[in-house]
Amino acid sequence: MGNEKDDTFVTNIHSYTMLEDSKFLRFMKILTFHIAGVSCIVAYNAILSGLDCFIFYYKDYSPQILLPNLYFMFNFFFQIFFMLQNIKYSHFVLIQTCLLITTITLILNPLIMQYTSELFSFIVTCILTALQGFANAMLFNLFYSLIMHLDDAYITATIAGHSLSGIIMNLTRLATFFLFGLQNKDNINKTNIDLSFSTFYYLAGMIIIINFLMMIFLKRQKDFKVALRKASPSEELFDDEINNDERCLSLSSDPKIIFEDGNYIEEEKNQNPSKLSEYEKYKYILKIIPGIHLLIFFHALITFSLYPPVLIAKQIYSENMSESIIIILIIFNLSDMISREMTRLIVLNFKSIYIIILLRLIFLFFFPVICIYFDETEFAKIFQNVWAYSVLVILLGGSNGFIISSCFIYLHNTDKIQNNLKPRVSLALNAFLNFGCFVGTIVSYLFFL
């Protein structure tokens, strides 16, 4: 092979596998990664959907503040912990294990709440929430390290899956709201609350089981095997189909060479970061492209300082507070998901991402003014119109999803970072994103002081 250019040799796994895929197979792969994105965050959305039930059972413990932040805290700190570890086991086995852990916690929680004492139930709920944060942190790291070895479509699908999770859970919440007549205060009793809560958690568990089964299908696909081989040092290294395919071997080895313009060139030893420790690799990455990680942190802080507390602080759509809250959240998540999918067609450069994030600062003015501080002023009343407010929510959600997806795709395609380090780039970006969400959630409470 050497320096000779072989026309039949494909230099990246994306074009290689896409030539072999039927439309149906390609659809199933993309669908699997959509569901993977849902699985990463569906437990958190189940917590948000079930807050009414948590408040009903644990009104003396402020669950609406404690549980979401407990999940975020464990999710963020375990993400950092896993980032700094060199995973020595199969990514596939770890993914399946984390999916099972999350499923078990989702199934157990409604049973514990319904059949045990309040104090014991609360303690166990906190433990299960912490376990969800742990498992979901691992899922984030595993999936985001894998998608950087695949093409942009898988990145977009996984990121869009996060918003799809919010849509599914809020639509379910809206359905149970009418199914159990919760718009009528007389129907807000233990039986209906339990049924509603169980629906959220068991549906989330069912989605994760589907993802578990679809991952088994995905493991049979050659491009996924190559991605696993790149990411994992375990049994994926010994897959006969990959080991007997010369092209896959060249693509899945730990590169000490870079393929450039059809020719292989050796790296200079002093420019080869593959020998660095995990901590040194992330330090090296942040040194080369520091701006994008700070931007995503600032972007997430803006969004989560408004979503969901400030966004739903004022009733806009009807006289029934619960119904209007659900509709607002559905609109936000729907616009968020559509904008993430749009990055398949529109790709932004770093400067454009920077400008849009700065422009989003205006939302910190509009939503607090309209929802909290000056809601009775003539200026605020203009935007309290159902259509005007809907446009603001769509813009907030749409810009959020578009920026997040654009940042990951930008880093996936940049030539500033070597390909073997790009999975770590995505993990660092995801950690900054989640830290921004965590800090933004705390900042949101300041608006209500």
Please say which residue of 221, 253, 285 terminates a domain. Answer: 253
CA 5/CA 20 separation, integer angstroms: 21
User: Are residues 144 and 95 located together in one domain of the fold?
Assistant: yes
In a domain, 377, yes or no: yes
In a domain, 331, yes or no: yes
User: Are residues 231 and 295 located together in one domain of the fold?
Assistant: no
Neighbouring-strand partners of residue 257: 266
Residues 170-205 as b/e (b if ≥16 CB within 10 A, e otherwise) read bebbbebbeebebeeeeebeeebbbebbbbbbbbbb
389 CB-contact burial (10 Å; exposed 0-12 / middle 13-18 / buried 19+): buried
User: Are residues 132 and 277 located together in one domain of the fold?
Assistant: no
Average pLDDT over every residue of 413-425: 81
Q: What radius of gyration, in Å, describes the C-alpha atoms of the chain?
A: 23
In a domain, 266, yes or no: no
User: Are residues 69 and 129 located together in one domain of the fold?
Assistant: yes
Domain region containing 387:
271-449
In a domain, 111, yes or no: yes
CA dihedral of 91, 94, 95, 96, whole degrees rounded to 10 = 130
User: Are residues 248 and 299 located together in one domain of the fold?
Assistant: no
Annotate 65-108 with DSSP letters as a single string: HHHHHHHHHHHHHHHHHHHTS---S-HHHHHHHHHHHHHHHHHH
Record the pTM: 0.82
Three-class SS of residue 266? Answer: strand
* Tens of pLDDT, residues 90-141: 888 899 999 999 999 999 999 999 889 999 999 999 999 999 999 999 999 9
Rounded to 10°, the helix 118-147/63-83 angle is 40
User: Are residues 320 and 244 located together in one domain of the fold?
Assistant: no
Q: Is the dihedral of CA 148, 153, 158, 160 positive or negative?
A: positive
How confident is residue 181, by pLDDT bands cut at 50, 70 and 90? confident
With contact defined as beta carbons under 8 Å apart, do 339 and 348 qualify? no
When mean pLDDT is compared across 77-81, 113-117, 134-138, 288-292, the lowest value belongs to: 288-292
When mean pLDDT is compared across 54-63, 108-117, 214-223, 380-389, the lowest value belongs to: 380-389
- For the record, the structure tokens of 251 come out as 């693509």
How confident is residue 315, by pLDDT bands cut at 50, 70 and 90? low
CA 392/CA 319 separation, integer angstroms: 20
Determine how many CB atoms are found less than 10 A away from the CB of residue 321: 13
In a domain, 93, yes or no: yes
Three-class SS of residue 179? Answer: helix
CA 277/CA 303 separation, integer angstroms: 34
pLDDT at position 311, please?
80
Residues 227-265 as b/e (b if ≥16 CB within 10 A, e otherwise) read bbbbbbebebeebeebeebebbeebbeebeebeeeeeee
DSSP label of 188: -
User: Are residues 1 and 66 located together in one domain of the fold?
Assistant: yes
pLDDT at position 401, please?
92
CA 304/CA 289 separation, integer angstroms: 24
pLDDT at position 169, please?
93
Rounded to 10°, the helix 350-359/386-413 angle is 150
In a domain, 114, yes or no: yes
How confident is residue 275, by pLDDT bands cut at 50, 70 and 90? low
* Tens of pLDDT, residues 3-44: 443 333 333 444 444 445 778 888 899 999 999 999 999 999
In a domain, 259, yes or no: no
Neighbouring-strand partners of residue 129: none
User: Are residues 337 and 390 located together in one domain of the fold?
Assistant: yes
Cα–Cα nearest to 336, from 368, 292, 306, 381: 306
User: Are residues 330 and 393 located together in one domain of the fold?
Assistant: yes
Average pLDDT over every residue of 236-253: 47
User: Are residues 151 and 194 located together in one domain of the fold?
Assistant: yes
Number of domains in the chain: 2
Cα–Cα nearest to 351, from 292, 422, 431: 292
CATH classification of the domain holding 22? 1.20.1250
- For the record, the structure tokens of 445 come out as 């409470």
In a domain, 222, yes or no: yes
User: Are residues 216 and 116 located together in one domain of the fold?
Assistant: yes
Annotate 7-48 with DSSP letters as a single string: TT--SSHHHHHHHH--HHHHHHHHHHHHHHHHHHHHHHHHHH
Please say which residue of 218, 253, 288 terminates a domain. Answer: 253
């600062």: which residue's tokens? 361
Average pLDDT over every residue of 182-191: 75
CA 128/CA 115 separation, integer angstroms: 16
Q: What's the gap between Cα 84 and its chain centre?
A: 20
Please say which residue of 191, 225, 253 terminates a domain. Answer: 253
Could you tell me if residue 418 is left (phi over 0), alpha (psi between -120 and 50 degrees) or otherwise beta?
beta
User: Are residues 206 and 308 located together in one domain of the fold?
Assistant: no
